[in-house]
Amino acid sequence: MNDKDSPVIANPWTALRQFTDARIALGRAGVSLPTAAHLDFQLAHARARDAVHLALDAPRLAQTFNASLEDQTSPAITLHSAATDRNMYLQRPDLGSRLDDASRQALTALKRPGTPQCARPYDLAFVVVDGLSAWAIEQSAAPFLAILQRRIAAENWSMAPICIALQGRVAIGDEVGELLGAKAVAVLIGERPGLSSPDSMGLYLTWMPRVGLTDASRNCISNVRPAGLSLDEAAHKLHHLLVQARQRQLSGVALKDETGEDRALPTATEAHVTAVASAGWGP
């Protein structure tokens, strides 16, 4: 069947699809989506659901961290939130933000002997959380930390053992960082899957973490994935924020990501694509 005989009526904006994964200019067949676009949507939806329910292989991830990170003198620790299973985790975000009793006791026992209760013996703690996409963490967490470690190797950061938190939300990093006695905590977490991004990892930085902080105290770097923000660029951004947080003793809304200030202004085509996405036609 040639294009003239096809029941699909093309959309005049089809050429813009090369610039975005958003579902734009899909055309139509009568008053409905074309079959191929409909099937593609169903596949993307299935992948997003699978990403939410996939269990993180914590032992294998811990083994990877222990083997690949050069300065990781203490083995990675696996923790669990107060949400006992996936269903509870999805229904009770508050429980995913706090550790269970066993994890809290394990971290308390790790605190360096002789350290005063109010002291912060570590400069930095990494908390790797399954979140809403274990796929993202299994794909990106270990190579990202290896890149970041090379960037900070010469800067004398005192590192806490890497913590892997299961059934966790972003705020669980605040409790982990506080119990470890870390001045800064960086949370690597699987983000809520979109219909074109089931493998997106988010990074959250908090200075002087403690239970009860809000999002205003955190810096976020989002969309870390092969088709989004690259691992190298994400490591560059987090490294910049870490250095600034340590120098200025703060994080969150008072700390800005200034790594892109020297970039050229977007071209007319890039600006147009951004405007299209902002208009609500994104994924």
> Is the confidence at residue 190, as pLDDT, over 90?
yes
Q: Within a domain: residue 99?
A: yes
Tell me what the mean pLDDT of segment 194-203 comes to: 90
Q: What is the mean pLDDT of the chain?
A: 86
- Residue 45 domain-assigned (yes or no): no
For residue 114, tell me if it sits in a domain: yes
Sequence-distant (≥ 6) Cβ neighbours of residue 277 within 8 angstroms? 20, 22
What is the Cα–Cα distance from 170 to 205, expressed in whole angstroms?
Answer: 10
43 occurs within a structural domain: no
Whether residue 160 contacts residue 127, with contact meaning beta carbons closer than 8 Å, is answered with no
Torsion of CA 222, 185, 209, 113, to 10 degrees: 170
Q: What is the SS3 assignment for 241?
A: helix
Cα separation of 132 and 203, whole Å? 13
Give 95's contacts (C-beta < 8 A, 6+ positions apart). 81, 82, 83, 88, 89
Averaged pLDDT for residues 268-274: 41
Bigger pLDDT: 28 or 273?
A: 28
- Domains held by the chain: number: 1
Per-residue pLDDT reduced to its tens digit, 237-264: 999 999 999 999 999 999 998 887 555 4
Domain that holds residue 133: 56-254
Residue 158, in any domain of the structure: yes
> Average pLDDT in the 165-189 region?
97
Q: What is the pLDDT of residues 105-152, one digit of tens each?
A: 999 887 655 556 556 889 999 999 999 999 999 999 999 999 999 999
Q: Residue 207's domain is classified under what CATH number?
A: 3.40.50.11240
What is the reported pLDDT for 14? Answer: 84
Determine, yes or no, domain membership for 29: no
